[in-house]
Structure 1
Amino acid sequence: MKNKKVEQYQKVKTILFRLKTGCQWRQLPMKQFFRIKYPWQIIYYHFQKSSKDGSWERVWHHILKKYNFAGNVGHPVGRQPQAS
């Protein structure tokens, strides 16, 4: 069970790296994220699958909330208006 959680975590980290850098899927530094030989196509497949079924959006919102990147998901990050 632990290995499966680690594997999922590494897949999410790899997808976040891809989204942050804008690199091509083929150019993902797979050795940086995985100890075993792992093809980039697997990461692409999981991203496409989770994007289509809506689970990636749920993961993304969870990450934003957990690390407090946005007060309200869907609103720009930055100072929020304060009542006077």
Structure 2
Amino acid sequence: MLQRDFAPGRETATARWCGDITYIPTGQGWLYLATVIDISTRKVIGWATADHLGTSLAADALKAACRQRRPQDPVIFHSDRGMH
């Protein structure tokens, strides 16, 4: 749907968001961080952390982005895998 168009600054009626998960070593084990980024502005608009890679981690980040932006029009969400 994005046709590899990840260029910032393109304002369209349909929001374009992308997400990813990374992990951070801590003294108590791994901390997992899921983020949602607005492709047009390159800003993080939602994030969540957890001690697991469960589905709820990604869902919580996407919910946070929706609470922040409150989209009224369709949103295209891209991730490399795992989140859809």
Ranked by relative contact order (alpha carbons within 8 Å, sequence separation 6 or more), the top structure is 2
TM over 0.5: no
- Bigger Cα Rg: 1
- Say which structure is richer in helix: 1
